[in-house]
């Protein structure tokens, strides 16, 4: 490829972070596309034959590249592919400790001989000398120094760098799986540390589900430990009129006492549930290719990441600590797949570190599958203790006491948040008048667990569904009828005392499941199937959950521009991680602009067109601090969220649509009115009542109230001619509700759900408007007149947005082998208005496979015999195959939206959860035994049937 002078590539824009010029060339942007002979992305092909409401994309924006094998990942890139890099590619691998119960003493490379000695070895001593350390989020001991015990199995101890591939490959083969390479002292026991986080949510509701709470987290506060003793939380003493934490423990004691001494009509069930550690099994193993150019003091990084903004900030934080000067940072965030495994993960910073010691050569650090199992983020193993009370006469749930222990492994990562979310999700679809839910994320020597898909809720809600099903059996009630009786309904409060957003439609999901042939005919079908299939047991199981989506501090940027030729250009801060986000955001523009974006840029971190600033922690800041900071019209509680927490459909779409809406309301609509009002007496519009809410796009034309349908291009031309708004850059923030602000747009004061806005005016704008477009990208940055940020107390709500899925599973258990065969499964989903039904279907199918794997197949030992020893691969770890997931017989349906105004909902995580409980409940129906530990293996079933 032709080498390009970076200074000539004006399309590679720069921003400044902490005094460092940051250049970002994301996949799909021109700078990254320049690396390859052909552009791998194709414009959206829009089939609008049925008008906007019936229009769909023909295939996703990266569809052709995916099916032809042309999609490019970070793992595919070498130094020679980068136009401005040196040609020589160096390679490196990491030595890791496989014992975490004794001191690390050093390592012996004698197996390599003289020919395979590394060109450079990096150890903890180098880092200490040069002042280098992990960014604060990732903890201590980026490389373990001799004399210390590894914090976790697989702790990195040294990096070996080679200037050529052949010697690197031979050396890695020589050392891999050789226990004698790492040297240890005598056994002293693993490290003992305080938990990564501890939370407690106590609620005592009012006389009815709609009355004010006596005590709740939202109304009052969550409960936190007063201290730690022997690494265990010590809770405050309960006092009815004490501090908030003491009040919470007073009511927790009341709940405990009532469960210990229940009324005669109560059934109190108590169970322990356990779920396993699971690998995220990302298609692309972790990798990084980095080059530190000491002459220009520039760092270049090619990495897969769900959170490019975090990589930028953390890389600069890390470099600022060391002796290696940094003036410029070039980040290339590529397309990837991760489902949490590449969100706030530490691998990019090992790549960064390696480049600093590679003598000016680009160096590639890339896991093979053994290393990926040894180091990648895992789904948390959970231990749960549940006590649930129900009134036998009414069949109504009364009280829920839950204790949750999430094994966070050796580094904190997001473990505190995962434990908290697992606890707050445990109520699933049910209303409880009283609850006491305590969660702890423990530190252990296991591999790091983090934001894997499900985020704690798969673990807790699957357990709830197992228990509810068993409780219905003990009460002699139909399991779905029992669920209907206790379903959380619109306006009721969750276990934190917050009212969920909008209509709660789980009762509709339950009704559909109740009337489905699989459920209606299950008893008859069991008799018939078992008679016709000797040696098999037949069962039908059901589970229904609703999962939150978002984090309580969701932020994003979006920029939508319409050029004079009608091309719609979308830039977004979100990363494409294989979910189809780039496609859905392109489609989202059509709601207001009548057609999808022609060009999409994702993972954008340069937002100089809208200079938003942020400071403080949005989760823990006081209201006084927020009020003070909000006086700055450019301040927001957050800057840019990673692609995680199922935030694409709802949160990212909000910023995209609001940017498009600003253009429509202040560009295309006034352009249309100008056309319709032409001529004597106010033109064709004057005799009619014309309201913007009556505007409709039909076949690429805009009409309202019977007015002439105007072609899209005619409106664009007019908007540019009049100098109206033709581009908008927006910033949004959501703390379980959207921030709103007042802006003056073209002389009109308007309140919109944004906290930052800048505008571009059409080519015909007058000198005054053009003068205001003073940013580097030619935008007029508006100062908000007022801002309405959700109060910090909203953090205590923990969640407010939910989407629901119910799943019926039909299965057969082979008595001799214990093998479970899924015959079919049917899912019922509630997700608002679908942006792209094809993408929703794909999410559902993929999520179901992951849930089936969790229920029946996937398992990792936590400690010495687990993947931390470096010997695990897919030969030992069982993922479900097509034959295991009823791929050809599965069915699904989606509840129709209430109206065309329903927002889309996040469903990427919830789709994998109910199938877990449904399988376990189906096994109970088949063999009469209820399992409480996951996965349910063939051996488990054989032991029961023996």
| pLDDT of 3 strictly over 90 | no
Do 909 and 549 meet the contact criterion of CB atoms below 8 Å apart?
A: yes
Beta strands at 381-391 and 397-407: parallel, antiparallel or unpaired: antiparallel
Cis peptide before 935 (omega within 30 of 0): yes
* DSSP at 426: T
On the CB side of 917, CA atoms within 13 Å amount to 31
SS3 149: strand
Which residues have a Cβ under 8 Å from the Cβ of 216 and sit 6 or more positions away?
202, 203, 204, 205, 493, 496, 497
- Of 860, 914, 877, which is closest to residue 379 (Cα–Cα)? 860
Which residues have a Cβ under 8 Å from the Cβ of 244 and sit 6 or more positions away?
220, 221, 223
Full-model pTM: 0.93
Do 739 and 779 meet the contact criterion of CB atoms below 8 Å apart?
A: no
Q: Which tokens belong to 311?
A: 């990589």
Which class is 80-189+286-366 in CATH?
Answer: alpha beta
| pLDDT of 680 strictly over 80 | yes
Residue 341, pLDDT score: 86
How many other CB atoms sit within 10 Å of the CB of residue 372? Answer: 23
Which residues have a Cβ under 8 Å from the Cβ of 722 and sit 6 or more positions away?
670, 671, 674, 762, 764
Residue 48, pLDDT score: 57
What is the C-alpha separation between 659 and 631, in angstroms, rounded?
24
| pLDDT of 1 strictly over 80 | no
Residue 70, pLDDT score: 64
Do 737 and 550 meet the contact criterion of CB atoms below 8 Å apart?
A: no
Q: Which tokens belong to 205?
A: 């509701």
Domain boundaries in the chain?
15-68, 80-189+286-366, 198-277+379-550+799-945, 554-734+740-788
Which residues have a Cβ under 8 Å from the Cβ of 600 and sit 6 or more positions away?
28, 41, 44, 61, 570, 571, 572, 582, 583, 585, 586
Residue 367, pLDDT score: 97
Burial annotation 348-367 (CB, 10 A radius, 16+ → b, else e) = bbbbbbbbbbbeebbbbbbb
CATH of 198-277+379-550+799-945, one of 3.10.580.10, 3.30.70.600, 3.30.365.10, 3.90.1150.10: 3.30.365.10
| pLDDT of 10 strictly over 50 | no
What is the C-alpha separation between 856 and 868, in angstroms, rounded?
22
Print the SS3 string covering 272-312. Answer: EEEECEEECCCCCCCEEEEEEECCCCEEEEEEECCCHHHHH
**Interhelix angle 506-514/479-486, nearest 10 degrees:** 160
Residue 332, pLDDT score: 87
- CA 571 vs. chain centroid, Å, equals 20
The predicted model gives 368-391 an average pLDDT of 97
Do 108 and 180 meet the contact criterion of CB atoms below 8 Å apart?
A: yes
- 674 forms beta bridges with none
Q: Does domain 554-734+740-788 have CATH number 3.30.365.10?
A: yes
- Of 165, 168, 171, 164, which is closest to residue 109 (Cα–Cα)? 171
Reading phi first (left if > 0) and then psi (alpha if -120 to 50, else beta), residue 344 is in: left
On the CB side of 232, CA atoms within 13 Å amount to 2
- Of 376, 317, 302, 366, which is closest to residue 342 (Cα–Cα)? 376
Do 238 and 253 meet the contact criterion of CB atoms below 8 Å apart?
A: yes
Residue 630, pLDDT score: 96
- Residues 625, 627, 628, 630: is their CA dihedral positive or negative? positive
At residue 645 the predicted structure's pLDDT band, cuts being 50, 70 and 90, is: confident
Instruction: Calculate the average pLDDT of the chain.
Output: 92
- pLDDT digits over 453-484, tens only? 999 999 999 999 999 999 999 999 999 999 99
- pLDDT digits over 476-503, tens only? 999 999 999 999 999 999 999 999 999 9
Q: What angle do CA 831, 837, 840 make, to 5 degrees?
A: 60
SS3 227: strand
Residue 723, pLDDT score: 97
Burial annotation 422-454 (CB, 10 A radius, 16+ → b, else e) = bbbbbbbbbbbbbbbbbbbbbbbbbbbbbbbbb
Total residue count of the chain as it appears in this document = 946
Distances (CA, A) of 165 to 90, 116, 161, 506, 779: 7, 11, 10, 56, 48
Do 935 and 857 meet the contact criterion of CB atoms below 8 Å apart?
A: yes
Which residues have a Cβ under 8 Å from the Cβ of 704 and sit 6 or more positions away?
672, 690, 691, 692, 694, 695, 696
Beta strands at 434-442 and 397-407: parallel, antiparallel or unpaired: parallel
**Is 80-189+286-366's fold the same as 198-277+379-550+799-945's?**
no
- pLDDT digits over 186-238, tens only? 999 999 999 999 999 999 999 998 999 999 999 999 999 999 998 999 999 99
Reading phi first (left if > 0) and then psi (alpha if -120 to 50, else beta), residue 302 is in: beta
- pLDDT digits over 61-73, tens only? 666 666 666 677 8
Do 321 and 131 meet the contact criterion of CB atoms below 8 Å apart?
A: yes
């Amino acid at each position: 490829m032709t080498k390009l002078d970076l200074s000539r590539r004006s399309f590679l824009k720069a921003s400044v972070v902490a005094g460092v010029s940051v250049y970002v060339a994301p996949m799909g942007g021109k700078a990254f596309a320049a690396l390859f002979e052909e552009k791998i992305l194709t414009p959206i092909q829009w089939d609008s034959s049925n008008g906007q409401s019936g229009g769909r994309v023909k295939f996703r924006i990266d569809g052709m590249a995916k099916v032809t094998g042309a999609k490019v990942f970070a793992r595919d890139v070498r130094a020679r592919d980068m136009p401005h890099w040196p040609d020589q590619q160096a390679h490196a691998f990491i030595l890791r400790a496989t014992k975490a119960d004794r001191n690390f003493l050093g390592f012996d490379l004698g197996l390599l001989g003289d020919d395979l000695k590394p060109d450079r070895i990096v150890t903890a001593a180098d880092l200490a000398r040069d002042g280098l350390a992990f960014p604060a989020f990732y903890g201590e001991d980026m490389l373990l120094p001799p004399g210390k015990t590894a914090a976790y199995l697989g702790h990195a101890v040294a990096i070996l760098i080679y200037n050529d591939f052949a010697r690197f490959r031979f050396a890695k083969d020589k050392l891999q799986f050789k226990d004698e390479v790492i040297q240890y002292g005598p056994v002293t026991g693993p490290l003992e540390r305080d938990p990564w986080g501890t939370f407690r949510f106590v609620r005592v509701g009012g006389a009815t589900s709609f009355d004010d709470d006596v005590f709740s987290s939202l109304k009052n506060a969550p409960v936190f430990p007063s201290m730690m003793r022997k690494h265990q939380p010590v809770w405050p003493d309960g006092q009815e009129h004490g501090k908030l934490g003491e009040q919470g423990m007073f009511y927790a004691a009341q709940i405990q006492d009532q469960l210990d001494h229940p009324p005669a009509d109560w059934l109190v069930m108590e169970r322990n549930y356990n779920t396993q550690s699971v690998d995220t099994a990302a298609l692309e193993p972790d990798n990084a290719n980095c080059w530190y150019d000491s002459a220009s003091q520039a760092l270049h990084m090619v990495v897969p990441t769900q959170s490019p903004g975090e990589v930028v900030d953390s890389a600069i934080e890390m470099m600022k600590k060391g002796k290696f000067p940094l003036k410029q940072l070039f980040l290339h965030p590529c397309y990837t797949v991760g489902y949490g495994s590449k969100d706030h993960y530490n691998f990019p910073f090992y790549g960064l570190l390696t480049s600093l010691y590679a003598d000016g050569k680009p160096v590639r650090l890339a896991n093979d599958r053994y290393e990926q199992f040894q180091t990648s983020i895992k789904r948390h193993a959970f231990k749960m203790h549940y006590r649930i009370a129900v009134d036998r006469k009414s069949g109504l749930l009364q009280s829920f006491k839950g204790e949750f222990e999430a094994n966070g492994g050796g580094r904190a990562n997001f473990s505190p948040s995962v434990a908290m979310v697992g606890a707050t999700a445990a109520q699933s679809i049910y209303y409880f008048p009283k609850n006491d839910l305590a969660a702890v994320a423990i530190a252990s020597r296991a591999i790091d667990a983090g934001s894997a898909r499900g985020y704690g809720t798969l673990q807790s809600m699957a357990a709830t569904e197992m228990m509810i099903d068993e409780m219905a059996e003990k009460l002699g009630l139909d399991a779905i009828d029992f669920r209907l009786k206790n379903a959380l309904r619109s306006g009721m409060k969750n276990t934190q005392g917050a009212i969920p957003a909008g209509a709660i439609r789980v009762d509709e999901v339950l009704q559909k499941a109740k009337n489905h042939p699989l459920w209606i005919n299950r008893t008859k079908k069991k008799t018939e199937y078992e008679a016709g299939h000797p040696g098999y047991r037949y069962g039908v199981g059901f589970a229904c959950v609703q999962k939150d989506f978002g984090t309580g501090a969701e932020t994003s940027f979006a920029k939508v521009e319409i050029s004079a030729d009608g091309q719609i250009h979308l830039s977004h801060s979100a990363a494409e991680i294989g979910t189809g986000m780039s496609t859905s955001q392109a489609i989202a523009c059509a709601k207001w602009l009548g057609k999808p974006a022609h060009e999409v840029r994702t993972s954008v971190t340069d937002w100089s067109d809208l200079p938003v600033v942020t400071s403080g922690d949005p989760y823990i800041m006081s209201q006084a601090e927020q009020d003070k900071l909000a006086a700055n019209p450019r301040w927001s509680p957050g800057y840019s969220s990673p692609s995680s927490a199922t935030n694409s459909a709802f949160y990212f779409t909000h910023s995209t649509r609001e940017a498009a809406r600003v253009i429509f309301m202040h560009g295309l609509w006034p352009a249309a009115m100008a056309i319709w009002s032409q001529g004597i007496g106010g033109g064709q519009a004057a005799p009619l009542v014309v309201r913007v809410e009556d505007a409709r796009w039909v076949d690429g034309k805009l009409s309202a109230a019977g007015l002439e349908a105007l072609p899209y291009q005619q409106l664009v031309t007019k908007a540019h001619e009049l100098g109206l708004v033709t581009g908008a850059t927006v910033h949004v923030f959501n703390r379980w509700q959207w921030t709103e602000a007042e802006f003056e747009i073209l002389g009109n004061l308007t309140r919109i759900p944004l906290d930052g806005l800048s505008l571009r005016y059409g080519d015909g704008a007058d000198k005054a408007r053009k003068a205001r477009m003073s940013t580097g990208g030619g935008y007029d940055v508006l100062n908000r007149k007022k801002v309405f940020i959700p109060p910090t107390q909203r953090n205590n709500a923990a969640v407010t947005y939910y989407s629901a899925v119910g799943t019926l599973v039909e299965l057969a258990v082979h008595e001799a082998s214990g093998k479970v065969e899924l015959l079919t499964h049917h899912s019922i989903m509630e997700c608002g208005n679908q942006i792209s039904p094809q993408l929703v279907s794909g999410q559902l199918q993929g999520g179901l496979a992951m849930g089936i794997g969790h229920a029946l197949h996937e398992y990792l030992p936590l400690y010495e015999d687990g993947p931390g020893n470096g010997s695990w691969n897919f030969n030992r770890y069982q993922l479900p195959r097509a034959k295991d997931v009823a791929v050809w017989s599965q069915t699904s349906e989606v509840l129709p939206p209430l109206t065309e105004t329903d927002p889309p909902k996040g469903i990427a995580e919830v789709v994998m959860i109910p199938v877990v409980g449904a399988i376990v409940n189906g096994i109970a129906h088949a063999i009469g035994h209820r399992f409480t530990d996951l996965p349910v293996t063939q051996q488990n079933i054989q032991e029961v049937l023996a």
